[in-house]
């Protein structure tokens, strides 16, 4: 994968965020990080990511609200959003898809599974 593909990791757990970053950079992606909803929009403005890995349990606002706001803005609506959550179930998955997320993964997610899915989610 080329460094031309940029990914924004939005995760309030610093250890998990850094683990995702190392894994994705090792796979050749350009990676930015944000630890809150507010930081997400600053990072989007600076980096224009292709993909957002979005934790739904952020400290300052719901990840679903972040996803809805990204998708409602014509300048950012094309960003692929992948929801990451500790909650599992059909209702949670439906809420993610309704908010504009292209995919939904329950944590802990297998790094190999995530890396395998990324190219098809960009297609």
120 occurs within a structural domain: no
CATH number at residue 95: 3.40.50.2300
| pLDDT tens, position by position, 15-34 | 989 989 999 999 999 999 99
Q: Convert the pLDDT of each residue in 71-121 to its tens digit.
A: 999 999 999 999 988 777 788 888 999 999 999 888 788 778 888 888 888
Is residue 73 within 8 Å of residue 46, measured between CB atoms? no
For residue 1, tell me if it sits in a domain. Answer: no
Q: Residue 1 carries which DSSP code?
A: -
- How many structural domains is the chain composed of? 1
- The verdict on residue 116 lying in a domain is no
Structural domain includes residue 122: no
* Pairwise CA distance, residues 47 & 61, whole Å: 21
Q: Please list, in sequence order, all residues whose beta carbon lies within 8 angstroms of the beta carbon of residue 25, skipping any fewer than 6 positions away.
A: 31
- Determine the structural domain holding residue 29 and report its residue range: 6-111
Identify the three-state secondary structure at position 38: helix
Q: How many Å from the N-terminal Cα to the C-terminal Cα in the chain?
A: 13
pLDDT on residue 1: 47
- Is residue 31 in a domain? yes
Residue 56: inside a domain, yes or no?
A: yes
């Amino acid at each position: 994968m080329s460094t031309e593909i940029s990914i924004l990791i939005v995760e309030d757990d610093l250890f998990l965020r850094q683990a995702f970053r190392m894994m994705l950079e090792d796979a050749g992606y350009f990676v930015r990080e944000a630890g809150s909803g507010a930081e997400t929009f600053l990072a989007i403005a600076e980096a224009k990511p292709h993909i957002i890995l979005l934790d739904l349990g952020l400290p300052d606002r719901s990840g679903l609200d972040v996803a809805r706001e990204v998708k409602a803005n014509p300048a950012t609506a094309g960003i692929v959003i992948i929801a990451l959550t500790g909650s599992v179930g059909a209702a949670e998955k439906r809420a993610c898809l309704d908010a504009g997320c292209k995919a939904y993964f329950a944590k802990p997610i297998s790094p190999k599974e995530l890396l395998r899915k990324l190219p098809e989610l960009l297609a």
